[in-house]
Structure 1
Amino acid sequence: MPHSYDYRKLRGRIKEKFGTQAEFSKRLGISEVSVSNKLNNVVDWGQEEMEHAISVLDIPESDIHAYFFTHIVEKSSTV
């Protein structure tokens, strides 16, 4: 089963550093649609893309997991 990641923290960092996903995508050299697909778990981040994003967003090595590998926690219903 594929994993879905919670990119809320990453989205916040993008907004903080670049203002918009469009500006962030220009800096990465990939399309805005591609960035959107990655942030919406449609396609996975490639290793080089992730490394470039970490660099341009100035994400400390100790925080990489929180930005890219936090799983979405599904709420279970209780009866």
Structure 2
Amino acid sequence: MTFDYSKLRGRIREVYGKYENLIPKISMSEATLSRKLNGKSYFDNQEILELSNALDIPSEERNLYFFKVEVREGEQKV
């Protein structure tokens, strides 16, 4: 399963301008953040909470940022 992090990417740009400005506020490297945003690994619960706090994402909106399933061309949403 692949997640669509486009809304999360937009929020990072909106709040911090660029990813490099977010890194000092969280406990992961730029390379790790990049890997996760590119679907090479998943965010764990602690990382989701930390990013949500750094980006002022309300708990009721986390699903929109972290759990939107990417639908590929030719696939159907379930």
TM-score when normalising by structure 2: 0.89
Shift in Å at residue 29 of structure 1? 2.5
Tell me which structure has the larger Cα radius of gyration. Answer: 1
Structure 1 equivalent of residue 37 of structure 2: 39
The ranges of structure 1 where at least 4 consecutive aligned residues each deviate by more than 6 angstroms after the TM superposition are: none
Secondary structure in 2 matching 1:6:
coil
Identity %: 33
What RMSD, in angstroms, separates the aligned Cα atoms of the two structures?
1.3
Structure 2 equivalent of residue 74 of structure 1: 72
Structure 2 equivalent of residue 57 of structure 1: 55
Structure 2 equivalent of residue 13 of structure 1: 11
- Structure 2, unaligned runs of 5 or more: none
Aligned residues: 75
- Structure 1, unaligned runs of 5 or more: none
